[in-house]
Structure 1
Amino acid sequence: MSAFVVPIEAREAPARLAVLRRSGRVPLVLDERWPAQVRADILSLLAQTPAPDGAEWAALTSGSSAAPRVVVRTHASWARSFPAVERLLGTLPDDVVLLPAPPSSSLTLFSLAHALERGPAPELAATSSRATLFHGTPTHFAAVLASGGAPRLRAALVGGMTLPADIRVEALARGIRVVEYYGAAELSFVAFDDDGTGLRAFPGVQIAVRGDVIWARSPYISLGYLGAPGPLRRDGAWVSVGDRGELRDDRLRVTGRADEAIQTAGATVVPSEIERTLRTLEGVADAAVVGLPAPGVGRLVAALIEPVRPGCLDAATLRAAAADLFAPAHRPRLWFAGTIARTSSGKIARAEVERRLASGEVPRV
């Protein structure tokens, strides 16, 4: 008889994960922040679609640009990387890992799976007086540093998006070892940077860039998706989710996620590259770039700015800065100011940002 993935509520984790794993069932932690229709669709998928042979864990893609997908994997595909993670972080027997992202996030679920095999004890919270380690996104890590909410932190594992250089510098100044990594729910760890010199292949992984697409050969790859297809592609032992990058002197630079690119007036614009530059401007706390439909050119590049304080930026200042920083096709043409929508793991929720800008819910600068 085929096994089915068992949905559990976030508040039931991590205790129920251990019970389900011991019984040989495949758990999936639901996200309580999902819209009702997304939740209904996921539950319907789980009820109708048996898990593939060998599946022991189910995790979710971030849903940053589309509806989340269910990724299934063996336990070994995660467990093989536990020793490398422990070496990189210098884990000790009594360590506690702070996990600010919800257990529905694949990065948090990884650490919960690690804890079941005598890894660091997990603490699902935004702050902790006990935590000595951290695992989460740069957004969560920056918040922890800003709040001083984890005074005993010794090392941090940070992934999900590019880590701003100033956050690494601040952490190091506080004596916190930082290990940044690039990966995906489908691929797990692909590359890491533990000294600020750039991403290099994670232990056990081979990396290749074909054209501008990142491929990996790895023992940490998932089995694929439950039901609906996704961006995971296979070419023999090599796999890719379509993310773009450059590989020079064994250092990987991730230039964009597979589903982010904006086609505008014959040019291809990678939002993460524009965002990275916008964040360097005075008065900009954060930035999100999306494409809004525009007849004749495909899409217009639009930037949503989170200002350091309300009213500190105006359109003329932003346009002048963009003219100095970007080629004409890559300059944002529409500017907005407001709060950036994020996924539960802290990544930019691009589909929701685009919807809010297109609907007029966010004011123009």
Structure 2
Amino acid sequence: MLDARRQLLALLNGDAAYLPLPTGDAEHARRLTEALALGEPIDDDAALVVSTSGTTGTPKGAVHTAASLRASAEATAEVLGGPGSWLLAIPPHHIGGLQVLLRSLAAGYDPVVLDLAAGFDPAALPACIGAMPGDRRYTSLVPTQLRKALDDPRAVAALRELDAILVGGAATPAALLERSIDAGLPIVRTYGMSETAGGCVYDGVPLPGVRVRITDQGENGVGRVVLGGATVARGYRNLPDHPAFAEPGWFRTDDLGAVEADVLRIVGRADEAVTTGGLTIVPQVVEAVIGEMAGVAECAVLGLPDERLGEQVVAVIVVDAGIQPPTAVEVREFVSARLDRYAAPRQVFVADSLPLRGPGKVDRRALRDRLS
């Protein structure tokens, strides 16, 4: 930990530039090394190149300065009530995990690390949380981890002692959020990405210094989310003219959202929309509805090729243990009663789990390949 501490402090101080690589996945590390040109020259003020968890096959690397990383750590501490120690429970080569380490060190605390070598085990949370120093203590989890932790009473009791649990990396289903709040957990929903130094909007409200714009709005106020401010990366490694960073100081996301009463609401992703029969369906909207069905623990909606419709809407669901999964007819009727009937899945598949990419996001590309 001592060597890692020196390197991370050097990163915070702008004395070195790093590319975090995953351990235990040599092929992924090789792809990142090649795509992001490890060892080749980089601008003097660059401190970090962190890979994105995008849907394309070619990795991109967001380039951050020490200033953008410090701005994120300082704004987070301000919003959460002050600096504190952090528990690392997510992979550190993603921006969310790396920021856990940097925030803790910036506050003067060595982070406590939960061993993820054999996967996330909520039974380890009580001991790890008990070892955390300081008056204020925080951690970050992804929704799948939170769901597992809620099934362990001792883990719930330990998490309840924290001052905040940041939940991000993927959308948090309403049922899971409600269950967490009912359990007394101090949940803070976060929205952000590698390009914004991690979470930059907490519970729909931008962190200090973060700006939000909605462009290309439709009649319902929903449009493309554009983020600006001190936490935004300077661009992508070796992609100087990428359109996402066309406007200096701003990052044009692939997310669709709206600002209502100064609160940002994310609807879904523009690049994951399904076009069926000439209509555009946002998968996350349908997923939120299916997630309200009794016994549905997780859900992914995507489009599969269809000769007549172009794409047909399908759903893959994971149900709680011991629960009989709903039939395709029941799912269609449930969705049709709440959304346009064209949004209702034409096929429903039941799975033991959903494939993930990055820090807890559903890998729709892998699902599509599996179903095709």
From 206, 218, 224, give the equivalent of 1:201: 206
Amino acid at match of 1:44: E
Alignment partner, residue 149 of structure 1: 155
In 2, Cα distance between equivalents of 1:308 and 1:68: 34
Alignment partner, residue 351 of structure 1: 365
State the secondary structure of the residue aligned to 1:232.
helix
* Cα displacement string for residues 243-280 of structure 1 (whole angstroms, at most 9, x for unaligned residues): 11111221111111242212222111111111111111
Alignment partner, residue 50 of structure 2: 59
Does structure 2 conserve the Cα–Cα contact (< 8 Å) formed by 1:64 and 1:348?
no
Indicate the larger mover: 286-295 or 126-135: 126-135
In 2, Cα distance between equivalents of 1:307 and 1:87: 39
1:43 CA drift (Å): 1.9
Structural RMSD (CA): 2.8
In 1, Cα distance between equivalents of 2:112 and 2:147: 18
Indicate the larger mover: 309-318 or 52-61: 309-318
From 68, 78, 103, give the equivalent of 2:92: 103
Cα distance change on mapping 1:315 and 1:23 into 2, 3 Å: closer
From 55, 60, 66, give the equivalent of 1:69: 60
Q: Does structure 1 residue 44 correspond to structure 2 residue 54?
A: no
Q: Following superposition of structure 1 onto structure 2, how do residues 113-262 of structure 1 map, counting pairs within 5 Å?
A: 113-118=102-107, 120-125=109-114, 126=120, 127-129=124-126, 130-131=128-129, 132-147=137-152, 148-149=154-155, 151=158, 152-188=161-197, 189-193=199-203, 199-211=204-216, 212-227=223-238, 232-262=244-274
In 2, Cα distance between equivalents of 1:98 and 1:64: 28
Alignment partner, residue 5 of structure 1: none
In 2, Cα distance between equivalents of 1:343 and 1:323: 30
Amino acid at match of 1:322: V
In 1, Cα distance between equivalents of 2:243 and 2:301: 22
State the secondary structure of the residue aligned to 1:71.
strand
Cα distance change on mapping 1:224 and 1:278 into 2, 3 Å: same
In 1, Cα distance between equivalents of 2:56 and 2:288: 18
TM-score, normalising length from structure 2? 0.81
Indicate the larger mover: 45-54 or 175-184: 45-54
TM-score, normalising length from structure 1? 0.82
Query: Which is helix-richer, 1 or 2?
Result: 2
1:15 CA drift (Å): 4.7
Q: How high is the sequence identity, in percent, across the aligned residues?
A: 26
Count of aligned pairs between the two proteins: 340
State the secondary structure of the residue aligned to 2:97.
helix
* Cα displacement string for residues 35-66 of structure 1 (whole angstroms, at most 9, x for unaligned residues): 83x44332223247533342101212124564
Does structure 2 conserve the Cα–Cα contact (< 8 Å) formed by 1:88 and 1:179?
no
Does structure 1 conserve the Cα–Cα contact (< 8 Å) formed by 2:32 and 2:51?
no
Alignment partner, residue 81 of structure 1: 72
Indicate the larger mover: 225-234 or 290-299: 225-234
Task: Give unmatched runs, 5+ long, in structure 1.
Answer: 1-10, 194-198, 359-365
In 1, Cα distance between equivalents of 2:360 and 2:92: 13
1:335 CA drift (Å): 1.3
